[in-house]
């Protein structure tokens, strides 16, 4: 059994998520004691979350949590944070925030800096998705300081990526690029394939938001190639959306529609309603640009329907700003949400 656990962890560390998943499943079909079963369930849940199989991840986190509850309260907190990250990706940012806040309180009581750092990283990304950039930035800066203190190179790298993302949303593109470059360098040193792809996409996004559209494309292509090798569905979908947005800005409408279709197909598979809003708005805007307002409104109405049923403040603003084939001035609302970004005219260079 130790050999199989080691194989699963090694595969996971090298972004070989399908191999890791099958190994954890093999372990769970064997004779395990309670602690071994809980560890295998937690490992499987983490892999399913990263792969974008969120219902399965949520189930396995709950199962592992119930087992850890009897003998390892700290590991149970790990399942709580994993469950929250899966819930966030499934369109439930507010339940995720509730669970993460409770976990953070317990980690701090136990003086577990590793757990606290990871939870603050998760909170930072969740506040960003929930639309509160200031709270998100605060948590990420605290996570970065903690990871630096405990000398966790992997955690520090992923916080750098998250900071790159939130500074991009805040319109601070130079600072965003600095963090993405640092993350990319660290990820390459560690040979973290998933992290390298993630940071390449971030670097592309910075170039795109700064108006350097052609320079963005090579970064997306690098990310796309790496995501294909590891079978990712979650971050790959956002890379496809970013690629589509760049093609749109370059006036390459056929390529843009194709990328948005591919992204939306993945968002449907993973149940990512936030991603679907972005993909549908991409289609709508392309039709508006071609003066095909009725076709554009069809896409826009579908995006609005999903947005109305969601808890995404930022994406609700996006839907509201793009309607009737034109951009509506919502600058005060964007500024209130904490961003210097706001749509001005078609085509929109979304953050």
pLDDT digits over 239-280, tens only?
A: 999 999 999 999 999 999 999 999 999 999 999 999 999 999
Instruction: Classify residue 316 by its DSSP letter.
Output: H
Six token digits for residue 272: 């990512």
Across the range 12-18, mean pLDDT stands at 92
Please report, for residues 214, 248, 295, 342, the alpha-carbon distance to residue 210 in angstroms, rounded to integers and kept in the order given: 11, 15, 30, 14
Average pLDDT on 71-78 reads 94
Cis before 56 (ω within 30): no
Q: What is the mean pLDDT of residues 275-301?
A: 97
User: What is the structure's pLDDT at 335?
Assistant: 86
Task: Report how far residue 68's alpha carbon sits from residue 185's, in angstroms, rounded to the nearest whole number.
Answer: 36
> What architecture is domain 233-351?
Alpha Horseshoe (1.25)
pLDDT interval class at 171 (50, 70, 90):
confident
The secondary structure of residue 70, as a DSSP letter, is T
Which 3 state secondary structure label does DSSP give 269? helix
On the question of pLDDT at 292 being above 80, the answer is: yes
Domain map of the chain by residue range? Answer: 1-90, 233-351
Q: How many C-beta atoms surround the C-beta of residue 214 within 10 A?
A: 11
β-bridge mates for residue 322, sequence order? 327
Instruction: Give the integer Cα–Cα distance in Å for 197 and 222.
Output: 7
pLDDT in tens, 304-345: 999 999 989 889 999 999 999 999 999 999 888 777 889 999
Evaluate whether 149 touches 185 at the Cβ level (below 8 Å): no
CA distance 171 to 351: 8
pTM: 0.94
Q: Residue 12: in which H helix or E strand, if any?
A: helix 2-13
- Ranges 97-106, 138-147, 314-323, 333-342: which has the least confidence: 333-342
pLDDT of residue 213: 98
Secondary structure element (H or E) that encloses residue 322, with its range: strand 322-323
Topology (CATH) of 1-90: 1.25.40
- Asked if domains 1-90 and 233-351 share a fold, the reply is yes
**Neighbouring residues of 328: CB distance < 8 A, sequence distance ≥ 6:** 320, 321, 322
- From residue 131, alpha-carbon distances to 258, 268, 337 in Å are 28, 22, 7
Longest dimension (CA), the chain: 64
Q: Which residue has the tokens 């991009």?
A: 168
Compute how many other C-beta atoms are within 10 angstroms of the C-beta atom of residue 288.
24
Give the C-alpha distances (Å, rounded to integers) separating 9 from 15, 50, 225, 241.
Answer: 10, 14, 23, 31
């Amino acid at each position: 059994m130790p050999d199989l656990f080691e194989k699963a962890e090694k595969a996971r560390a090298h972004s070989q998520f399908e191999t890791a998943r099958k190994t954890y499943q093999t372990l769970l079909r064997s004779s395990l004691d309670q602690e071994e079963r809980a560890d295998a369930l937690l490992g499987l849940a983490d892999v399913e979350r990263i792969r974008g199989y969120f219902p399965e991840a949520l189930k396995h986190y709950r199962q592992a949590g119930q087992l850890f509850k009897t003998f390892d309260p700290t590991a149970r907190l790990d399942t709580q944070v994993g469950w929250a990250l899966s819930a966030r990706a499934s369109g439930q940012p507010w339940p995720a925030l509730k669970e993460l806040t409770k976990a953070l309180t317990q980690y701090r009581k136990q003086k577990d800096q590793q757990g606290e750092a990871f939870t603050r990283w998760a909170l930072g990304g969740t506040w960003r998705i929930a639309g509160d950039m200031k709270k998100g930035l605060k948590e990420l800066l605290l996570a970065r300081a903690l990871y630096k203190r405990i000398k966790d190179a992997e955690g520090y790298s992923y916080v750098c990526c998250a900071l790159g993302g939130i500074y991009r949303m805040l319109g601070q593109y130079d600072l965003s690029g600095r963090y993405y470059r640092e993350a990319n360098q660290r990820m390459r040193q560690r040979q973290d394939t998933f992290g390298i792809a993630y940071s390449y996409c971030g670097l592309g996004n910075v170039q795109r938001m700064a108006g350097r559209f052609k320079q963005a494309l090579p970064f997306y292509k690098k990310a796309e190639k790496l995501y294909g090798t590891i079978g990712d569905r979650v971050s790959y979908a956002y890379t496809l959306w970013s690629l589509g947005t760049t093609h749109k800005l370059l006036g390459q409408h056929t390529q843009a529609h194709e990328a948005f279709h591919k992204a939306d197909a993945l968002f449907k598979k993973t149940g990512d309603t936030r991603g679907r809003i972005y993909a549908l708005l991409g289609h709508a805007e392309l039709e508006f640009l071609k003066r095909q307002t009725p076709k554009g409104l069809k896409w826009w109405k579908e995006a609005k329907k999903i947005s109305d049923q969601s808890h995404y403040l930022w994406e609700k603003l996006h839907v509201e700003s793009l309607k009737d084939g034109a951009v509506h001035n919502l600058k005060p609302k964007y500024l209130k949400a904490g961003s210097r970004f706001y749509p001005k005219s078609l085509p929109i260079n979304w953050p």
